[in-house]
Structure 1
Amino acid sequence: MIDLIQSYLPDETSPNSKSRGYIRVSGTPVEMPFTFIHGANPGKSILLTAGVHGGEYPCIETAIQLANELDPSEVSGTILIIHPVNPAAFLARMQYYGPYDGKNLNRVFPGKALGSVSERIAYQVHQFQQAADFFLDLHGGDIHEGLVPFVIYSELGGSEVAEQSRQASALLGFPYVVGSVSDNGSIGAAAKVGTPGFLAELGQCGRWNHVEVAQYKTAVINVLRSFAVLPGTVVRHEVAFLEKMLVTTATLDGCWYPAVALEDKVGKGQKLGEIRDYFGVMQAEYFSDSDGIVLYLVTSLAIMTNDPICAVGVTGG
């Protein structure tokens, strides 16, 4: 990690230091702001990212505050914080997509060195993923979505990596933890090269507040303590481990009307909502494919084809 970040720093980094700068993404106008904390003692290398999606504000503010507040003298190892990963999407107040190529950054990992802007950002982040001992990707309720705090870990990369990721996910203290086999997202790309990690979700509808940020910081610090990167007692939490998450996507453009609420328990075949046209006429209905709990729900009236509209965490069977 030190060797990779050194090229973006004016001077040699040394133990018990904190450095700031910008990671320039080759072939693009993107410069990702970062803070690199080189601890006073040896230890693990941690990569923490926030703002992969530009409209997810609680995680971005959490990363900024952690970057300012973490004291190198208390750190064992190194922590690289990128805040935000997608600055152009952040400034454009965009949900999901990047302004340069219209791609969802979290759907193009591990990226391409000579690809589109989003693919090049993913490729750059992936280099740091490969050098890290653990990867924390912070997300949270985008401009158009509500969600229950939950954590996703990858089941790719082998059982040992998956179990490390699963255990660390529980230490955030968010109510639900769910495994994923997606191979084009940030955590899947990390797991496939042997780096455990998780994707955390906390926040609502493109807003942030100090209570959520404080909760997020406490959760992240607890995880860092579990790796002995920070001193202090690790708090163990009771969480619900879910079998998987089933995401329902829109099949046409129109107006979205949900029939369920966040954290509702739904049964297989239960109606999740419907899409109507601009005259209020129902065009499509959507039903749950399994028993489970509503973790994520689009809150905007507007919906486009292929947009996620609801996610159900499967509780068993």
Structure 2
Amino acid sequence: MRGNRGKPGRRGTMGQPASAVFPWSIVPEPGAGEKRTGYLRWRDDALRGWEWPYFAIRGSQPGRAVAILAALHGGEYPGVLGALRLARMLQPERVRGSLLILPVVNQPSFWARSAFVTPPDGKNQNRVFPGNALGTLTEVLAWRLMEEIVAPADVVIDLHSGDVFESLASHTCRYDMGDAGIDDLTTRMCAAFGLPFAITYPRPKVTGSLAGNAALAGKLSMLIEVGGNGLATDEDAQIIFQGLINTLRVVGTLGGMLPETTVRWLVDGQQLRAPADALWRSAVRPGQPVAAGDVLGTLYDQLGEELARPVAEMAGIALYHLSALAVREGDPLVYITPEVTR
């Protein structure tokens, strides 16, 4: 099987858009100023029987190639609705460059309504990138996404939420890559999206995530987290839709004025994990400031006897917590991220 089958046009610097050539050969190429929709299929044995909806949009003017993906985790719904709203609304004649939008990436997980993992092989789709051409369904899909969706793109936007039993404060994520041009643009992309928080991770050395691998491949890469707990609300969909519009303005895909936004910047912090199987009651809400030593919740056994009251080991923002009652040993209970001044 071939590797990258994309045919990107002239690659500019991060300050200069690439050409208006539609770079993704995995779907039929739209004409200039045209939008096409359909379902793509891959011939790999592991992916046989599945198909992926897509929107392919080619502007009438030069600009960057933007890939937008949602539902790498099938139980994270707001990104699906936000991506669909954007894809159906966009008018190609007003677009500079091109877009490929995949609103439901993890088809097996989506239809099974499963949390975190893909049912056929039990693997987490966002932990196996860059994938394996000869692996299981989850690994082969990751490889195909990297080779045929990410590789031809200039910009990669990965839409997530808290999973079926996670509550979180809406935030964007980016990587500090040590490249002034890329770092400036991804910072502006995160700020423009308009969410309350943005977290900057250090340049990844080894990562299984789509956004991390896209960043290592030199793309303008960001990850979005809005909503959670298996809910699909119009409010969350609209937040993602407007955030995508804002971000596309930053990278030059769309024109228009950017609204004023206020964002609190965070850095990678600490995940508190369950020491044993237990019943869990969180004492913090997403976005709540905590101090070192604060009680974060209580763990009980199945007879209601208290087992432990985990405490924060650092000050920061409780960015998300597990909302399920049942927790297994090793499950992440609360994620605390220190706030920084920019």
Could you state the TM-score of these two structures normalised by the residue count of structure 2?
A: 0.86
Question: Offset at 1:235?
Answer: 2.2
| Cα-Cα RMSD | 2.0
Match of 1:119 in 2: 139
For residue 231 of structure 1, the aligned residue among 255, 270, 274 is 255
Match of 1:74 in 2: 94
Conserved 8 A contact 1:161-1:191: no
- CA deviations 1:147-180 (Å, max 9, x no partner) are 1111111224745433322221111110111112
% of aligned pairs identical?
Answer: 31
Counterpart of 2:263 in structure 1: which amino acid?
V
Conserved 8 A contact 2:26-2:40: no
SS in 2 for 1:220: helix
After superposition, the Cα gap between the structure-2 partners of 1:141 and 1:7, relative to the gap in structure 1 and judged at 3 Å, is closer
For residue 175 of structure 2, the aligned residue among 149, 154, 157 is 154
Counterpart of 1:110 in structure 2: which amino acid?
P
SS in 1 for 2:212: helix
Question: Offset at 1:316?
Answer: 4.3
The alignment status of 1:17 with 2:41, answered yes or no, reads: no
Matches within 5 A, 1:72-151: 72-127=92-147, 128-151=149-172
Match of 1:201 in 2: 225
Query: In structure 1, how many angstroms separate the alpha carbons of the residues matched to 2:303 and 2:33?
Result: 63
Query: In structure 2, how many angstroms separate the alpha carbons of the residues matched to 1:135 and 1:82?
Result: 11
Match of 2:325 in 1: 301
Conserved 8 A contact 1:259-1:272: yes
The alignment status of 1:253 with 2:277, answered yes or no, reads: yes
Query: In structure 2, how many angstroms separate the alpha carbons of the residues matched to 1:253 and 1:155?
Result: 36
Counterpart of 2:224 in structure 1: which amino acid?
A
Unaligned stretches of 5+ in structure 2? 1-5, 9-22
Counterpart of 1:101 in structure 2: which amino acid?
D
Query: In structure 1, how many angstroms separate the alpha carbons of the residues matched to 2:308 and 2:114?
Result: 26
For residue 175 of structure 1, the aligned residue among 184, 196, 199 is 196
Counterpart of 1:136 in structure 2: which amino acid?
I
Matches within 5 A, 1:254-293: 254-293=278-317
Query: In structure 2, how many angstroms separate the alpha carbons of the residues matched to 1:34 and 1:304?
Result: 37
SS in 2 for 1:286: coil
Question: Offset at 1:87?
Answer: 1.5
Match of 1:58 in 2: 78
Matches within 5 A, 1:23-62: 23-25=40-42, 26-27=44-45, 28-29=47-48, 30-62=50-82
SS in 1 for 2:69: strand
Conserved 8 A contact 2:30-2:57: no
Query: In structure 1, how many angstroms separate the alpha carbons of the residues matched to 2:40 and 2:329?
Result: 34
Counterpart of 2:140 in structure 1: which amino acid?
R
The alignment status of 1:8 with 2:44, answered yes or no, reads: no
Query: In structure 2, how many angstroms separate the alpha carbons of the residues matched to 1:233 and 1:242?
Result: 26
Conserved 8 A contact 1:179-1:242: yes
Question: Offset at 1:131?
Answer: 1.6
Conserved 8 A contact 1:178-1:245: no
Query: In structure 2, how many angstroms separate the alpha carbons of the residues matched to 1:156 and 1:45?
Result: 20
